[in-house]
Amino acid sequence: MRDDKPRVHGLGGVFFKAEDPEALGAWYADHLGVGVQDWGGAVFPWRRADTGGKACTVWSPFKADTTYFQPSDKPFMLNFRVDDLDATLAALRREGCNVLDRHEDGDQGRFGYVMDPEGHLVELWEPGPDGDASGEVDA
């Protein structure tokens, strides 16, 4: 049985493999106006519908040979924003999902990982105290 409270409150990011991430980022910047930053990705600020809090979604190409998406062999990874990473991972474990023993904690917040039934790596992100990775949000 699932809790009444939503586990995911937004798309945190889309991460994908590219043969030449730098050139691809430049194409997106030049032709679509995507605000690619020095680190190679872009941040799209928004506000949460439920709380009005600051939030963002990250778009970022990775090198084609990245191992970050392992154990998945898929060319992309989705990142979803959650309010309570520990509770979300515990609920997924109770439901029999393939939750990985991989965790990351840093300036951007806390991250946990689960594999979906088709072998995609799903990154779950509990943002840090500032609420997002983008800095100021005017959205």
Class in CATH terms, 11-127 = alpha beta
Task: Tell me what percent of the chain is helix, strand and coil, each rounded to the nearest 5.
Answer: 15, 40, 45
Q: N- to C-terminal Cα distance for the chain?
A: 35
pLDDT tens for residues 44-75? 999 999 899 999 999 999 999 999 999 999 99
**What is this structure's pTM?**
0.88
9-57: pLDDT as tens digits: 999 999 999 999 999 999 999 999 999 999 999 999 999 998 999 999 9
Q: Which residue has the tokens 């084609």?
A: 64
